[in-house]
Amino acid sequence: MASGDVIVIGAGVIGCSIAFELAKAGWSPVVVDKLPASGYGSTSASSAIVRSFYSTEAGSAMAWESTQVWNRWADYVEHADERGAAVYRQTGCLLINGKDDAFVSLIRKVMTDIGVPFESWDVDALARKLPWLDLHLYGPPRHPDEAGFAEAGEALVEGALYFPQAGYVNDPQLAAHNLQRAAEAHGATFRFNAQVSAIRQSNGRVDGVELADGTSLPAPVVVNVGGPHSGGINRLAGVDKTMTVRHRPLRKEVCYLPGPSDVDLESQGLFIADMDVGGYCRPETGNKLVIGSTEPACDDLTWIDDPDDYNTAFSNQWTVQAMRMAMRIPTLGIPGQASGTVALYDASEDWIPIYDRSDLPGYYMACGTSGNQFKNAPVAGALMATLIGTCENGHDHDQEPVLFDLPETGRTLDLGNFSRRRSIHRESSFSVLG
């Protein structure tokens, strides 16, 4: 194919993965990003957690496949980066089972159906293995000004599911750079500080992009992986009105806290997802914890109209998240100075991504991916390359969804699960857990 036969908008971890997989398949991608380097946007603010469970079988199968790739990351990106490879730290994952937790019951079934290894720990096993956790029930999650906040019930949690192969990536931005270098080794090119101002169209299909500096980049295929800016890019292309699943930027805060002094997180730390207190945490270098929210019903979600204009200061939400996690980890200290990240996630209505074509021929989308799709970047790149190649060869994906084989785990994904025209997945957790 000719040079510049596909333009990828966005050089986050998923945009770089798509470029890498397209380049390996014989395309000549040109990646454009308004920021100065790959992985500078939502990717850099990701908690970079790798886990296998989502509320849908398709999402879980994709995550389990991706876990296998992260386990051999340096080989996957072909050791092409002068900075070295990002490191996957396999800590294990604990999904706390609160009282009558329908989400945990669903995950147990989905993991069993897919064949993901996990263990069921009862409350005695939890107390023995992780004595630094308070195992009382606190839910449902509340705000500090609500009655019952931080008041432990008499009953204990009903145990937990433990996933030994889960963990996190130590440097999400470096992971994106690894993919950039791997893509460049196969012929991809990257243009930074390049903001898209228009989507070119000709004869009823996409014809490239215009940049804010007046540069015109022609191409018969364009892929929108613009993260929080992807909704605006879809509006430029005029493809947003026929989508049944919406996506838009969501403001998120993540806390960085010193770990409890009585716990060696290097040896005992693991990723904990806890719907009972409404939060998650994972260890970080230096005996620290990264703490986020699972979007409980009591929290107001802050949706943003303009991704270039939002409050980047910490709010009371930072304190609320830290306090909720301190219920489960009572020796966790909360410093007076907030530390962490404030960033935007591009989230869909059901927190399940859109990996799809559009109603504009040649224009494709990988949207609604921020926050909970970092772990799926390797598979997202490969399935988008397959989808694009299949559709550009004349296949009608809307009428007959493309099937994508997962070579590591031997399953097949129906890509219709990620359609822009799908119905809302009612079994979703409607949270960052997917």
Provide the domain limits for residue 42: 6-86+171-246+350-418
CA–CA dist 402, 387 (Å, integer): 7
Please indicate, yes or no, whether residues 153 and 109 belong to a single structural domain of this protein: yes
Residue 133 lies in a domain: yes
Residue with tokens 């910490």: 314
Q: Sign of the CA dihedral 164, 373, 95, 59?
A: negative
Give the pLDDT confidence score for residue 2 in this predicted structure.
Answer: 37
Domain assignment present for 434: no
* Residue 430 included in any domain: no
Do both 220 and 238 map to the same domain? yes
pLDDT at position 1 is 33
Residue 141 resides in a domain: yes
Paired sense of beta strands 93-96 and 271-274, if any: parallel
Same domain, residue pair 42 and 110: no
Candidates 263, 315, 313, 312; CA nearest to 289 is: 263
19 with 71, same domain?
yes
Give pLDDT, residue 4: 82
Alpha helices in 305-366 (DSSP H): 316-328
* Amino acid of residue 3: S
Q: Give the total number of structural domains in the chain.
A: 2
Given a cut of 50, the residues of the chain with pLDDT beneath it are 1-2
Looking at residue 369, the DSSP 8-state letter turns out to be B
Domain boundary among 348, 373, 392: 348
Does one domain contain both 184 and 276? no
Rounded Cα distance between 243 and 227, Å, is 17
Residue with tokens 């730390």: 269
The pLDDT of residue 266 is 87
323: helix, strand or coil: helix
The strand pairing partners of 363, in sequence order, are 222
Residues 190 and 329 in one domain: no
CB 369 within 8 A of CB 14: yes
Q: What is the length of the chain?
A: 434
162 shares a domain with 252: yes
In a domain, 425, yes or no: no
Which of these three, 288, 318, 348, is where a domain ends?
348
Looking at residue 273, what is its pLDDT?
A: 97
Cα Rg for the chain, rounded, in angstroms?
Answer: 21
Contact present, 296 and 320 (Cβ < 8 Å): no
204 burial (CB, 10 Å; 0-12 / 13-18 / 19+) is: exposed
308 and 188 in a common domain:
no
Give me the pLDDT at residue 107, please.
96
Name residues whose C-beta falls within 8 Å of residue 111's C-beta, 6 or more positions apart in sequence. Answer: 52, 53, 60, 118, 161, 163
Element (H, E) at 403: strand 403-406
Q: How far apart are CA 91 and CA 146, in angstroms?
A: 34
Task: Verify that 298 and 343 share a domain, yes or no.
Answer: yes
Answer whether residue 400 is part of any domain. yes
Output the pTM of the full model.
Answer: 0.97
Contact between 125 and 161 under an 8 Å Cβ cutoff? The reply is no
Return the structure tokens found at 214: 């007046």
The CATH number given to whatever domain includes residue 322 is 3.30.9.10
CATH assignment at residue 227: 3.50.50.60
In DSSP terms, which residues pair with 160 in a beta bridge?
Answer: 96, 121
CA distance 433 to 392: 33
Statement to judge: residues 299 and 240 lie in one domain = no
| Residue 286 token pair | 């230096």
237 and 280 both lie in a single domain: no
Co-location of 112 and 253 in the same domain: yes
